[in-house]
Amino acid sequence: MKTPNPKNREIWMLFLYLNVLPFLALHEESPPGLITGLLRILSHPGILVSDYFGIGGTGAALLNAYLIGIIGWALLWKFVPRLQGEHIAAWCTMVGFAFFGKNLLNTLPILFGCYLFSFLSKRHFSELV
């Protein structure tokens, strides 16, 4: 019998943890309230100390953290061959900053810029992210 790949176990533990957030968001607010709050978060300037709980509500802040967490999880899944402590800490940092200052509109351009730089400099994307 093969031993399970440690990456698979750890990455799925992060995924399970992450998937609690949308259920908590739906518990806090109705779907129309979530969308309204998320749009308020996305339209906010997003300076570093922006309390997304106050701007969009608890449910929208949880949904924003979920969306940022899914992006980080996908990057870990695609580019990290074996999860280590620093990868999990970086992912937790991404999710944490999604509660005050980071959203999709100010995260995706940075990731796209890293991808573009890796393409133009012929370096692997995982070296830069």
Residue, of 42 and 49, whose pLDDT is higher: 42
Nearest to 103 by CA among 58, 50, 34: 50
In which band, very low, low, confident or very high, does the pLDDT at 1 lie, cut at 50, 70 and 90?
A: very low
Residue entry with tokens 């980071």: 102
* Contact (Cβ atoms closer than 8 angstroms) between residue 37 and residue 29: yes
* Distance of alpha carbon 100 from alpha carbon 86, whole angstroms: 22
Which of 69, 12, 66, 44 has its CA nearest to residue 54?
A: 44
What is the C-alpha separation between 59 and 35, in angstroms, rounded? 9
Q: What is the pLDDT of residues 52-63, one digit of tens each?
A: 999 999 999 999
Distance CA 122, CA 14 (A): 31
pLDDT in tens, 4-48: 455 578 888 899 999 999 999 999 999 999 999 999 999 988 777
